[in-house]
C-alpha cells in the first residue's frame, strides 16, 4: 500500500468543522477570535476549542490551531496569555508565522508542536532548514512551488512538509503582498486582506481582472503525491461554508483511499463530478502543476468565488427582484459582486417569493423571483452561490457536548506575568546612541556616490547581475566594511545553490555585512564568525519577542516591518531593544510581487476602480507592481528622533525606472523634507 498523506481540512466555524470530520478529514485547522490570518471567519473562542479538541481526539481527528498572523507590539502580552492557554489545551499543533511564537515556545512552552505557516514563505531548502532549526516540526511550503521543487526540498531536507492542494490562490508570493495594507491599512499578514488583486483594472480603454487568480485543484496530482512523502495535503477555505468543505473533503478522501491504479482512476472520475457541484473560480493545478499565468489568471472573467446564480434586476423597498440563472433555495449562502468586480459581504437567503408575492422554498433557473435581503443590493449586481443550508450550529454543538460533557481547564499559569515582563523591560538609561544612516541601492553604478556619502553603511541589492559585476571590482578595506549585500526575498530552489556559493565567495573576500530578507538566508550565511547581519524589513518584525529571535540568530540590528505604525513605534520606544532597531524613512516597495506576469503592458499605468494608480514591471518571469508614489517619513524624522530612534534606512533599491537620485533624497534627509507627492503608508494609522 502506498504512503497516504494526511488530509487537512479548514474550519471557519463549527458547521465546517463538523462537516470536515464527518466526511473523512484526518485533521482540521481552525483559528481563534484573534491572531488568525483569516480574521473575517467566525473562528472559535478558547472555551469552544477546549471542547473541540477532546471531541476530535475521540474521533481520531487531529486539530491544528492557526495563530499565524503578524503580531504587533501592543498585542504581545495578549499573545503570551493565548499561547499559555493553548499549552493547557494542547492541540496537535500550532500553525505560526511570526518569529515571536517560535521564540516563546522554545523558551517557555517546549511541548507545543509548531508548524511554520505558508506566510513564513518557505520556498527553498534553506528556508525549510532554518524554520526547522527555529523549532518547526512541520513546514507549510509556499504556494508558488511546483511539485518537482517540493520533491527536491524533501530530498534535500527530509522535512515534514505540508502543501496546499485545493482552494483560493493569491496573486502575490506568500508573505510579500503589501497592496491591501498600503491602500487601506488592512494587512494581509494580519488576516485582513480586502483582495485588491480581485478588482477590475484598466489600462487606457482596456479593462480586465488582470491580477485575479483562479482556484487551485491538485486532485489529478494526488496519486503522485501519495508517493512523494508529503506529510499533509491542505485544503484552503476557512471562509467557505460547511457544504463546500464537505464536498471537497469527500472528493479528496475518495482518491486518497484508492489503493490500486484502477481504483484511483475510478475515484478521480467520481471526485471530479463531486467537485463540479461545488462553487469555485476556474480550477487548475496552479504552480503545483508548473502552470503559468495564462492557465492561472482569469483576466476576462469576474474574480468572484462561487456559482453565478442570479442577477439583481431591481430593488423595491425591502425586496429584490432576481433574474435566476441557476436554482436558488432558502438557506443558500450568496455573495454579491459589485459592478467594479469587488466581492461584497455574503448573506443567507431567509425568504423567497414568486412574482405574485407568494412564499416559496426555491426558485427555478430561467424564472424571476423576489428575495428579502438583509443587506442593501443594487440593480446590475450579480449573486454568486457559496454554499447550501446545513445543520444549524446549535444542533452541532449539542451533539458534540453530548460526547464531551465538560471542556478542558484553561487557566493561565501563575508565572504568566513573569513571562510577559521579560518582553516589557524598559530601555536602560545611558549615553545617547550615535545616529546611523543606511542606504540601499539597486545598481553598482551608484556605488561610488553611495560609498562617498554620509551614510554609515551601504547595501547593494544582491541580484546575480550585481554580484557578478562587483566580483570583478576592487574595494578597499574601508569600502568592504561599509558595503553590505542585501539578499533577495525571493530565491527559488533552483537559484539557492548559486546564491549559497556566491555568499561563501564574498564572505571569503572579506564582505561581512549582509541583510537578511528571508528565513532561508540564515542558512546561506551559516555560522561564520565575524559576520554583521541585519534583519531586513521583509522579515516583517513588529514586536519585541520577534526582534529577540533574530538577535539570538546572530543579527546585530533589525529593521521594522514596512507596515509598522507610529503607535507601534511609540510602544517599542521604551523597550530595551530600541537602540538596535532601524526605521525605514524612504522606500518604494512593490505592493504586488508575483511569479505570474499578467497580460498587460508593462510601460503603462494600471488604474483601479477607485482611480488608484499602479506601475507594473516585469523581469525574468517575475512581476512587481508599484504604487504611484514612494513612502516617505522624512518629514517625520523629528518625531522619530524624539522617540529615541537613531538608526534610519533610505531604500532606493526598488521601484519603477524613473525615481529620484541618491543625492536628492540625502538632501531631503538632511532637511526633513520630501519633494513631490508621497505616502505615509501606515504611519498615522492604528493597528487593526
- Residue 559 grid cell: 529593521
CB-facing half-sphere around the CA of 299: CA atoms within 13 A: 16
- 462: pLDDT strictly greater than 90: yes
d(CA 527, CA 548): 18
Backbone φ and ψ for 106, nearest 5 degrees, come out as -65, -40
Give mean pLDDT, residues 135-164: 97
Under 8 Å between Cβ of 492 and 512: no
Residue with cell 550585481: 466
Give mean pLDDT, residues 563-585: 92
Backbone φ and ψ for 53, nearest 5 degrees, come out as -60, -50
- 423: pLDDT strictly greater than 50: yes
Residue with cell 493553548: 86
| Closest C-alpha among 516, 522, 17, 176 to residue 8 | 17
Q: What is the pLDDT of residues 497-540, one digit of tens each?
A: 999 999 999 999 999 999 999 999 999 999 889 999 999 999 99
Show Cβ contacts of residue 628 under 8 Å, excluding neighbours closer than 6 positions: 605, 612, 613, 614, 615, 677
> For 126-135, b where at least 16 C-beta lie within 10 A, e where not — what string?
bbbbbbbebb
Under 8 Å between Cβ of 120 and 101: no
pTM of the model: 0.91
Q: What is the pLDDT of residues 257-306, one digit of tens each?
A: 999 999 999 999 999 999 987 888 899 999 999 999 999 999 987 666 67
d(CA 232, CA 132): 17
In DSSP terms, 405 is beta-bridged to: none
3-state SS string over 571-622?
HHHCECCHHHEEEEEEECCEEEEECCCCCCCCCCCEECCCCCEEEEEEECCE
> For 304-321, b where at least 16 C-beta lie within 10 A, e where not — what string?
bbbbebbbbeeeeeebbb
More confident residue, 280 or 45: 45
Under 8 Å between Cβ of 299 and 599: yes
Under 8 Å between Cβ of 238 and 9: no
d(CA 583, CA 637): 10
Q: What is the pLDDT of residues 67-78, one digit of tens each?
A: 999 999 999 999
Q: What is the pLDDT of residues 535-556, one digit of tens each?
A: 999 999 999 999 999 999 999 9
How large a percentage of the chain has pLDDT more than 70?
97
Query: 6-169+214-284+393-403: what CATH class?
Result: alpha beta
Question: CB burial class (10 A; 0-12, 13-18, 19+) of residue 634?
Answer: buried
d(CA 660, CA 364): 61
DSSP state of 269: H
- Residue 264 grid cell: 484511483
- 667: pLDDT strictly greater than 50: yes
Longest Cα–Cα distance of the chain, Å, equals: 88
pLDDT band, residue 1 (cuts 50/70/90): very low
Under 8 Å between Cβ of 438 and 650: yes
Residue with cell 561581512: 512
d(CA 143, CA 407): 36
Q: What is the pLDDT of residues 127-144, one digit of tens each?
A: 999 999 999 999 999 999
Under 8 Å between Cβ of 489 and 175: no
Three-state SS at 231:
coil
pLDDT band, residue 341 (cuts 50/70/90): low
Show Cβ contacts of residue 165 under 8 Å, excluding neighbours closer than 6 positions: 216, 218, 219, 221, 222, 225, 233, 234, 235, 252, 288
Residue with cell 476530535: 56
307-387 homologous superfamily: Translation factors (2.40.30.10)
- 430: pLDDT strictly greater than 60: no
| Closest C-alpha among 40, 22, 63 to residue 243 | 22
pLDDT of 646 reads 96
Dihedral over Cα of 49, 50, 53, 54: its sign = negative
DSSP state of 375: S
Q: Do domains 6-169+214-284+393-403 and 307-387 have the same CATH topology?
A: no
431-588+630-671 homologous superfamily: Aldolase class I (3.20.20.70)
Query: For the chain, which residues make up each domain, given as ranges?
Result: 6-169+214-284+393-403, 174-212+590-629, 307-387, 431-588+630-671
Give mean pLDDT, residues 142-157: 96
- Residue 334 grid cell: 450568496
d(CA 558, CA 581): 5
- 171: pLDDT strictly greater than 50: yes
Q: C-alpha dihedral over 266, 271, 276, 282, to 10 degrees?
A: -100
Most confident of 152-166, 297-311, 363-377, 646-660: 152-166
> For 563-591, b where at least 16 C-beta lie within 10 A, e where not — what string?
bbbbbbbebbbebbbbebbbbbbbbbbbb
Amino acid at each position: 500500500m502506498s504512503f497516504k498523506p494526511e488530509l487537512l481540512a479548514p474550519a471557519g466555524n463549527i458547521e465546517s468543522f463538523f462537516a470536515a470530520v464527518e466526511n473523512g478529514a484526518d485533521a482540521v485547522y481552525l483559528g481563534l477570535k484573534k491572531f488568525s490570518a483569516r480574521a473575517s471567519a467566525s473562528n472559535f473562542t478558547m472555551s469552544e476549542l477546549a471542547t473541540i479538541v477532546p471531541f476530535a481526539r475521540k474521533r481520531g481527528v487531529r486539530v491544528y490551531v492557526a495563530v499565524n498572523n503578524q503580531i504587533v507590539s501592543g498585542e504581545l502580552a495578549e499573545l503570551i496569555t493565548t499561547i499559555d492557554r493553548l499549552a493547557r489545551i494542547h492541540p496537535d499543533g500550532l500553525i505560526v508565522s511570526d518569529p515571536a511564537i517560535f521564540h516563546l515556545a522554545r523558551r517557555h512552552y517546549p511541548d507545543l508542536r509548531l508548524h511554520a505557516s505558508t506566510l513564513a514563505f518557505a520556498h527553498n531548502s534553506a528556508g525549510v532548514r532554518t524554520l526547522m532549526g527555529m523549532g518547526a516540526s512541520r513546514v507549510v511550503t509556499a504556494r508558488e512551488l511546483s511539485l518537482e521543487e517540493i520533491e527536491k526540498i524533501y530530498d534535500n531536507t527530509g522535512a515534514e512538509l505540508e502543501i496546499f492542494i485545493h482552494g483560493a490562490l493569491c496573486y502575490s508570493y506568500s508573505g510579500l503582498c503589501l497592496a491591501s495594507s498600503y491602500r487601506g491599512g488592512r494587512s494581509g499578514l494580519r488576516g485582513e486582506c480586502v483582495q485588491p488583486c480581485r478588482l477590475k483594472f484598466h489600462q487606457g480603454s482596456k479593462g480586465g481582472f488582470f491580477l485575479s487568480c483562479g482556484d487551485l485543484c491538485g486532485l489529478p496530482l494526488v496519486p503522485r503525491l501519495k508517493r512523494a512523502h508529503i506529510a499533509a495535503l491542505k485544503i484552503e477555505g476557512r471562509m467557505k461554508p460547511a457544504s463546500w468543505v464537505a464536498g471537497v473533503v469527500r472528493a479528496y478522501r475518495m482518491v486518497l483511499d484508492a489503493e490500486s491504479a484502477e481504483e484511483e482512476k475510478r475515484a478521480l472520475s467520481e471526485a471530479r463530478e463531486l467537485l463540479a457541484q461545488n462553487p469555485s473560480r476556474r480550477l487548475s493545478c496552479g504552480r503545483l502543476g508548473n502552470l503559468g499565468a495564462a492557465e492561472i489568471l482569469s483576466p476576462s472573467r469576474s474574480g468572484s468565488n462561487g456559482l453565478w446564480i442570479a442577477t439583481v434586476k431591481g430593488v423595491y423597498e425591502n425586496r429584490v427582484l432576481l433574474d435566476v440563472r441557476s436554482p436558488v433555495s432558502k438557506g443558500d449562502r450568496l455573495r454579491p459582486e459589485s459592478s467594479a468586480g469587488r466581492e461584497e459581504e455574503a448573506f443567507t437567503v431567509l425568504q423567497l417569493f414568486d412574482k405574485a408575492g407568494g412564499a416559496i422554498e426555491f426558485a427555478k433557473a430561467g424564472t424571476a423571483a423576489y428575495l428579502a435581503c438583509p443587506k442593501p443590493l443594487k440593480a446590475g449586481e450579480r449573486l454568486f452561490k457559496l454554499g447550501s443550508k446545513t445543520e444549524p450550529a446549535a444542533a452541532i454543538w449539542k451533539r458534540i457536548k453530548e460526547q464531551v460533557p465538560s471542556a478542558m481547564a484553561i487557566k493561565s499559569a501563575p508565572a504568566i506575568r513573569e513571562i510577559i515582563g521579560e518582553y516589557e523591560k524598559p530601555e536602560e538609561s545611558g549615553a545617547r546612541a550615535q545616529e546611523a544612516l543606511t542606504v540601499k541601492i539597486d545598481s553598482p553604478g551608484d556605488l561610488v556616490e553611495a560609498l562617498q556619502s554620509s551614510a554609515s553603511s551601504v547595501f547593494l541589492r544582491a541580484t546575480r547581475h550585481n554580484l557578478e559585476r562587483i566580483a570583478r571590482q576592487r574595494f578597499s578595506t574601508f569600502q568592504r566594511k561599509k558595503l553590505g549585500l542585501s539578499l533577495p526575498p525571493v530565491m527559488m530552489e533552483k537559484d539557492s545553490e548559486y546564491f549559497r556559493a556566491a555568499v561563501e565567495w564574498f564572505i571569503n573576500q572579506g564582505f561581512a555585512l549582509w541583510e537578511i530578507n528571508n528565513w532561508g538566508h540564515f542558512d546561506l550565511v551559516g555560522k561564520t564568525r565575524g559576520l554583521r547581519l541585519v534583519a531586513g524589513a521583509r522579515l516583517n518584525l513588529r514586536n519585541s519577542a520577534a526582534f529577540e529571535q533574530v538577535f539570538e540568530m546572530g543579527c546585530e540590528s533589525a529593521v521594522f516591518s514596512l507596515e509598522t505604525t507610529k503607535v507601534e513605534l511609540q510602544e517599542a520606544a521604551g523597550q530595551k531593544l530600541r537602540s538596535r532597531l532601524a526605521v525605514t524613512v524612504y522606500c518604494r516597495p512593490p505592493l504586488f510581487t508575483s511569479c505570474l506576469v499578467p497580460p498587460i503592458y508593462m510601460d503603462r499605468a494600471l488604474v483601479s476602480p477607485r482611480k488608484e494608480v499602479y506601475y507594473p514591471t516585469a523581469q525574468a518571469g517575475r512581476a512587481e507592481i508599484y504604487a504611484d508614489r514612494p513612502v516617505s517619513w522624512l518629514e517625520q524624522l523629528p518625531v522619530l528622533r524624539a522617540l529615541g530612534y537613531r538608526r534610519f534606512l533610505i531604500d532606493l533599491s526598488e521601484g519603477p525606472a524613473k525615481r529620484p537620485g541618491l543625492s536628492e533624497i540625502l538632501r531631503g534627509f538632511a532637511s526633513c523634507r520630501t519633494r513631490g507627492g508621497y505616502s505615509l503608508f501606515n504611519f498615522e494609522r492604528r493597528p487593526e
